């Protein structure tokens, strides 16, 4: 074989070796997990926590569930509705006022008198002069009462602040502890209306 031919063969082999260089790595990369990357501008997941619904009122052995609404406050006068729902299977009869006690953050009774009749605190047209009367609440039906108080503070040392109320449909009935912030200051009293049809 001539010297020219030997040179041509050597160049061909070298070119072939260089052409293959880098196409097949000595150590192939490890398999990567399939990671899905959202496109730019796509909506990101919401970070807003999902609100936790308030627990449903407990139905007691007599077939009664009690709950409390939002406080309506105006010019120092507070009012909140208390609702009784007949969650039983028979008619539940009411004839009077709910029995309510004000509790502190540790659920201890406070020295606050809850008096029968809203007129003991303020004149409220809808409840002024309303007298208790027999009320038959059918299964699934409701009755309501309103609890009122004034936020009045003249002595910081005797300020009452409640975080719960203990409620019974009537004296001697099962009691329900409900979360309710109250601020009767040092008035020492609140007023409650009789039960009326829901």
Q: What is the pLDDT of residues 169-195, one digit of tens each?
A: 999 999 999 999 999 988 899 999 999
Say yes or no to pLDDT of 157 above 60: yes
Query: How many CB atoms are closer than 10 A to CB 41?
Result: 5
Helix, strand, or coil here: 73? strand
Report CA dihedral (181, 182, 185, 190) to the nearest 10 degrees: -170
Q: What does pTM read for this prediction?
A: 0.70
User: What does the mean pLDDT of the chain come to?
Assistant: 79
CA 115 to chain CA centroid, nearest Å: 29
pLDDT (0 to 100) of residue 128: 78
* Residue 114: partners with Cβ closer than 8 Å, 6 or more residues away: 100, 101, 102, 147, 189, 190, 191, 192
pLDDT (0 to 100) of residue 59: 95
pLDDT (0 to 100) of residue 14: 42
Please, what sign has the CA dihedral across residues 153, 154, 156, 159?
negative
Q: What is the pLDDT of residues 115-134, one digit of tens each?
A: 999 999 998 888 778 899 99
């Amino acid at each position: 074989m001539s010297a020219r031919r030997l040179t041509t063969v050597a160049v061909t082999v070298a070119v072939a070796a260089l052409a293959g260089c880098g196409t097949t790595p000595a150590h192939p990369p490890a398999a990567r997990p399939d990671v899905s990357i959202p496109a730019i501008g796509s909506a990101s997941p919401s970070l807003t926590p999902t609100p936790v619904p308030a627990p449903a009122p407990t139905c007691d052995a007599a077939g009664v569930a009690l709950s409390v609404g939002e406080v309506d406050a105006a010019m120092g006068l507070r009012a909140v509705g208390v609702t009784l729902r007949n969650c039983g299977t028979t008619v539940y009869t009411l004839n009077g006022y709910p029995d309510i006690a004000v509790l502190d953050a540790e659920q201890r009774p406070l020295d606050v008198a809850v008096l029968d009749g809203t007129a003991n605190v303020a004149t409220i047209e809808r409840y002024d002069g309303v007298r208790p009367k027999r009320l038959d609440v059918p299964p699934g039906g409701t009755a309501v009462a309103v609890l009122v108080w004034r936020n009045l503070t003249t002595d910081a040392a005797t300020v009452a602040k409640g975080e719960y109320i203990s409620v019974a449909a009537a004296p001697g009935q099962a009691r329900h502890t409900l979360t309710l912030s109250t601020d009767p200051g040092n008035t020492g009293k609140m007023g409650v209306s009789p039960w009326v049809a829901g």
